[in-house]
Chain A
């Protein structure tokens, strides 16, 4: 079973950094949630594994929320989240997480674990 949720870094990082808000000068001035959409497997325990290459077919696709569930299943991960290329994130590496990076045109440009 997949659980859809809006990303809140609070549970992971009390003083977490979160999304990108860029001024014209490119300096971060404020922030909101880092990952716009996230899905998780709800059937614990975590498997702590992720195979991004198995989900590489998503690269080039147009972003839609349902894509995240497919990437999660293909990668065999515990959690999948969508990020933008300029999303601010805390930089811990979660073994069972797959990240889907979407560019400004709404295309998936990268799928990676961590």
Chain B
């Protein structure tokens, strides 16, 4: 077997794979620039010793808040609930999408695989422009002078839908409301909130259609109703709203309880370890969620993230994940979080009965590029019984510090990995290089048990200080896997992200 050299390239491989060879040549050049090639920290000053237990000032940490220990649960009133104002006799147009097969979606109802068909983006041609949607609306004048109209969108076979709305002109005081089949109430969003979201999206770098696109909450079933209300005095003809697309969920993401046939269950490599086999990390496990999000091109992704406590113990749903997962407000607005997605007992097959999917999106508060960390605030309260993880942002935890990762590899039920910090690094412009503890924004971790996989990005790295567990990082990536147990993972340092601006949210008095 050939011996791997730099980048794992061998002469034989270079002959077989010229592309690989070119990239490896580029790597060698990068290494020359970065001084890459020495052992471990490459001559950098030795990192500080691990933090002694006695040196843990109160102003360098936030303790864990376990809502299961509170007399009053963490569940807050769900924002955005609304009541339909559409008269019962009002005419409602119905837009029916063609079946997926006719829509040229590659269908695979075969039973011999586990196709993942989550969030298929579909065009809604009949309502794709403001003029087209206006032609579908039959406005009703209410006694208080308000106008109301609705349209139903039907996508046969869907378990759930999200409507993608382009907002160009919506008068102050207007409301958009959504309802699915069997829903008792509606979920509403005001014109003011949409304007705020658009402003946040623009600040986060979105422009044009991306900034104006609003994804509705997940609507259960194959029929989604969009109801519009304009305030008294508004002119329906001035409405600038289109419904150019929807996301068609073949799996019922927003419906609990968990399905044993979720294609993610069992998808992680067998070296991963069930988090429920580590009762000493059970509280932290309840702070970790699986995250679904959709990019503006309609591509759907999974990452992991962790609910963070703030200094006030306010139960504001601050949520830490990776910057490369949620890089814009557009993506944050599409976020769904999946809580208690874990077994009910160590290595059991039953899923925790509290499993809950939370929709409504999130606000992107801060993205720290250097540590590839992002802080969100969920727009809805997490379910009762979650924990808000403590965090440590003082002196670096140090090389050889024992650490634990809690995450959803391959989107699977929650797993736990146990390892040690083996060094520091910085990653920028597609290059990672070794750094000292003083300069590095990233922790390098080797695993003794478990690993990480795609889907684990954004998950928290925990360290134990004075017998308590604290978040000290969030996963960027690495080469560790069940097939490569000696590989490493890189976690953005939480203290760096905290000092880069997360403190403004988490330490605000």
Chain A residues packing against B (C-beta within 8 Å): 6, 8-10, 12-33, 36-37, 44-54, 63, 65, 76, 78, 84-96, 99, 101, 104-106, 109-110, 112-114
Contacts and interface: CB of A to CB of B under 8 A. Distances in A.
Contact of B17 (A23, A28, A106): A106
Contacts, number: 274
10 tightest CB-CB pairs across the interface, nearest first?
A13-B324, A30-B36, A114-B454, A93-B455, A29-B36, A45-B121, A90-B477, A32-B27, A93-B302, A53-B113
B116 A46 contact: no
Contacts of B431: 18, 30-32
Interface stretch (B182-190, B209-217, B311-319, B421-429): B421-429
Contact of A91 (B27, B370, B371, B453): B453
Nearest to A30: B36
A9 B23 CA distance: 13
B116 A50 contact: yes
21 contacts: A9-B430, A13-B476, A14-B327, A15-B324, A16-B427, A19-B23, A21-B7, A28-B488, A32-B26, A46-B300, A48-B118, A54-B110, A54-B113, A76-B108, A78-B299, A88-B477, A91-B457, A92-B324, A104-B13, A114-B411, A114-B453
B323 interface: yes
Contacts of B490: 17, 88
A96 B115 CA distance: 10
B477 A96 contact: no
A95 B432 contact: no
B465 to A, nearest CB: 26
A29 B38 contact: yes
Interface string B205-229: 0000000000000000000000000
Contacts of B323: 13-15
B40 A46 contact: no
A99 to B, nearest CB: 8
Contacts of B428: 15
B421 to A, nearest CB: 13
B324 A23 contact: no
Contact of A48 (B10, B37, B120): B120
A91 B369 contact: no
A20 B477 CA distance: 12
B261 interface: no
B434 interface: yes
How many chain B residues sit at the interface, stated as a range, is: 35 or more
Contacts of B432: 17-18, 28, 30-31, 88
A65 B17 CA distance: 9
Contacts of B423: 27
Interface of B: 1-2, 4, 6-8, 10, 12-13, 16-17, 19-20, 23-24, 26-27, 30-31, 34, 36-40, 42, 105-106, 108, 110, 112-123, 245, 267, 297-303, 322-325, 327, 369-372, 410-411, 422-423, 425, 427-434, 444, 452-458, 475-479, 481, 483-484, 486-490, 492
B143 to A, nearest CB: 43
A93 B117 contact: no
B455 A85 contact: no
A49 B298 CA distance: 12
A27 B31 CA distance: 13
A38 to B, nearest CB: 10
A104 B427 contact: no
Nearest to B453: A91
Contacts of A63: 16-17
Nearest to B433: A30
Contact of A45 (B24, B122, B492): B122
B448 to A, nearest CB: 15
Contacts of A106: 12-13, 16-17
A34 to B, nearest CB: 8
A10 B4 contact: no
Given A30-B433, A45-B122, A21 B297 contact: no
A90 B488 CA distance: 12
Given A92-B454, A94-B301, A25 B430 contact: no
Nearest to A90: B477
Contacts of A94: 299-301, 454
A57 B225 CA distance: 44
